[in-house]
Amino acid sequence: MTDFPALRDALQVWMQEAVAALTADSDAAYEGVGVPEWNCDTDGIFRNIVRPMDGWDFRKRRQLKQLASWPNVEQAVHKDDHLSRQVDIFVGTIHGGIRVEAYNLAMHVLPRPGEIDHANEVFEQRYADLETYLVADELEFKTIWPVPGLIVADMPIELESGIVLDAMSDRELVIALRTETVCPHFPSEPLFQAEPASRTCVRYRYRLSKLIDSRGDDASVRFQELEQRLQDIRATIEESLALVLPEPVMTAGRFGISGEQWSLVSGGVQFQQSMMPRHMRWRRIEVDVERVSDLQEVWKQVSQRGLLARHKGLALALRRLSYQAQRERADDELLDIMIAAEALYLAELGRQSERGDLRYRVALRAAVWADDLQLGMTKREVLKLMKSAYDARSAVAHGGSPDPKEMKIKGQRVELPELVKVTRTVVAQGCRKALAAAAGSDSGWPPDWDAMVLRT
């Protein structure tokens, strides 16, 4: 069953005549090699190498419009109202588009030289793709954020409607390698053997209206709205992971492609890269079933409409905690963590009358807010840890170095990376508890700190 029987019949007759003409011309077909590019070979290994390619000479293809069957193709297009309004005109979405001509449509169903032996099967598949595109009022797209280093069982995992934590397909991973949002451990190495940790991603599927003859008067507004949506999703990914995982993780950029449905712009890719610290590409974190459940819960809270807009201190704390993953040095990580702590525990201190000993307030509030059983630390130990971390932060922020004798956890001297790691755990737990309180009710956060301290 076809929506455009006249077009299908005309294209099939033209395709058969075109194949006969091309195969009879010894100069029409060419074989060669392309430029080096990533692809997945039959052994499952991804290689950045040149590969054989074939095709028809450009001039010979243009001459195919002179075949006796070609006018029937143009007549089938222009006699159908639905088809005629999509030909000899710009067709696309707010992402962009292409001027569609009958020639473009015909070229899609024409087999390559290596496909001549099964030309009819190639035609049937490609015509089905073409018709699906021509009938559609909307086109599917997907944006993918690679999250290198996560090892997650039982994917895909739904985070919200249209958004899943999943493993990239071979096609998606090829695009990630070509756009360098995923990189081999050794950049000059032309081989990449995919492991589960290198395929993990967050994928967002969405649909855009197909625009004909115009991108629409409000195209720029809709494009900005989509871009803001994509930025919000990335922030939600990184902030949610920062609260759930024991170590910082970040996305490796993003890339956007068309969905499984073929279209005339299917080859296009929009991408952004992120500068990942080198050690992040080697990190491996296993995410068990319990953490998956935690991630889904936190995601729902972070993405709750208007929640973080009403709690700006909490929003800043989550943002700065997620920024830790971008840092190369432990002292820079400490600054982000302690900014998060101050934003979380001192949100009301914009008022002059409330300012006092910030070091003591941060440490005391972190201690009374902490879940000591979950942390494996007493509230007094949390108090001392946060004082030590605040002192180290002050030294770094003012151009100095932390005093090694003052960096202690549970009374034991530690190096700065260990101090950073444990402080991060305390602040992340505090942020998560605050997020749950804020999501529960508008009065859930911040608490009455004075009342909490006096009860302790």
pLDDT, position 235 = 97
**For residue 307, which amino acid is it?**
L
Q: What is the pTM of this model?
A: 0.92
pLDDT band at 266 (very low <50, low <70, confident <90, very high): confident
Average pLDDT for the chain: 92
Q: How far, in Å, CA of 247 to CA of 245, rounded?
A: 6
Say what the pLDDT of residue 262 is: 84
Residues 445 and 451: their CA atoms lie apart, in Å, by 14
Percent of the chain with pLDDT over 90: 81
The answer on pLDDT for 350 being more than 60 is: no
- Per the CB < 8 A criterion, the answer to whether 330 and 420 are in contact is yes
Q: Catalogue the E-assigned strands of 68-120.
A: 89-93, 96-100
Q: Is the peptide bond preceding residue 71 cis, with omega within 30 degrees of 0?
A: no
> Given this model, what pLDDT does residue 171 score?
95
334 neighbors 423 (Cβ within 8 angstroms): yes
Residue 216's pLDDT band (cuts 50, 70, 90): low
Residues present in the chain in total: 456
Tell me, what's the pLDDT at 189? 87
Q: Rounded to an integer, what distance in angstroms lies between the CA atom of residue 249 and that of residue 238?
A: 7
Pair type for strands 138-146 and 52-56: unpaired
Question: Which pLDDT score, from 0 to 100, does residue 354 have?
Answer: 53
Q: Which residues pair with 143 in a beta bridge?
A: 204, 256
Per-residue pLDDT at 456 exceeds 70: no
Mean pLDDT of the region 187-200: 91
CA distance 280 to 326: 9
Find, among 348, 358, 412, the residue nearest to 385 by Cα: 412
* pLDDT surpassing 70 at residue 418: yes
Using DSSP's 3-state secondary structure scheme, residue 50 falls into coil
CB 140 within 8 A of CB 259: yes
Question: Is the confidence at residue 151, as pLDDT, over 90?
Answer: yes
Give residue 259's pLDDT. 86
Torsion angle of alpha carbons 221, 226, 228, 230, nearest 10°? -170
**Where are the extended beta strands (E) located within 129-196?**
138-146, 150-152, 157-160, 163-167, 191-192
For residue 217, what pLDDT is reported?
A: 66
